[in-house]
Amino acid sequence: MFRAVRVLLSTMLGAILLLGLTAVSWAKTEATVIVTHNKEYGNILTDSSGRSLYIFSHDKQHESTCYGSCAQTWQPFVLKSGQPVAGKGVTAKLGTITRKDGSRQVTANGMPLYYFAGDKKPGDTNGQAVNKVWWLVSPSGQPVKSEAAGKLIPKHAPATGAGGMATRGSALPSLAIALLLLTTAAGVLGLRRAH
């Protein structure tokens, strides 16, 4: 019985270490900004997976004003480490600012970049011109303003707010480790009860 428990615990420890190393490698991934062609708006800035990036008219250069519920709907494009990388065709000067929570948000010509929670897949541009303050970004870092602009903001998508910040994808490694630990504990307890 003890040998089976040791084998199980060793296997689980190895899996936990592997997950931890994977999470560390994710944290070191650089933020890459690329140019993606959109049929309606032309060439726009996106992340490396094609998710649209936006700027907020109420922000100032090198300063975000989007926190709290705003940052839940308009999620900051954050960088875990290193510097943002400009893909082919990006002429905007990329940089970072430090948000109130200490995270580093990617900027284009000093303007903070965001994702829109209403964009469900790469290529979506549902945040364009919301309340005439949220804009897609051109390769040179300028807001893309079009005649189609002027959508009213959906009730679930505040334009401004104050408080905390939501980040995308940060809970996955922690959730996986927690589930693994619970499974291990249940398995060990089950082995002890069986004998």
pLDDT digits (tens, 9 = 90+) for 69-123: 999 999 999 999 999 999 999 999 999 999 999 999 999 999 999 999 999 999 9
Q: Is residue 48 predicted with pLDDT exceeding 50?
A: yes
Query: What is the pLDDT at residue 6?
Result: 53
Q: Which residues constitute the domain of residue 59?
A: 31-164
Q: Are residues 180 and 114 in the same domain?
A: no
* 191 and 134 belong to one structural domain: no
Residues 65 and 139 occupy one common structural domain: yes
137 and 45 both lie in a single domain: yes
Total domains in the fold of the chain: 2
Check whether residue 159 and residue 105 sit in a common domain: yes
For the chain, what is the mean pLDDT?
Answer: 75
Is the same domain home to 116 and 195? no
Q: Residues 149, 54: one domain?
A: yes
Helix (H, G, I), strand (E, B) or coil at 119: coil
Alpha carbon distance 195, 106 (integer Å) = 56
Are 83 and 141 members of one domain?
A: yes
Rounded mean pLDDT of 62-67? 98
DSSP letter, residue 169:
S
The answer on 119 and 69 residing in a single domain is yes
Same domain, 101 and 7: no
Residues 154 and 134 in one domain: yes
Length of the chain: 195
Q: 16 vs 123, which has greater pLDDT?
A: 123
Residue 151 sits in the same domain as residue 180: no
Output the CA torsion sign for 25, 31, 35, 41. Answer: positive
Helix 172-194 to helix 2-27 angle (10° resolution) is 180
| Strand partners of residue 161 | 66
How confident is the model over 153-192, as pLDDT tens digits? Answer: 544 444 444 333 333 333 334 434 444 444 444 454 454 4
pLDDT at residue 39, rounded to an integer: 94
Structure confidence at residue 190 (pLDDT): 54
Q: Residue 50 pLDDT > 50, yes or no?
A: yes
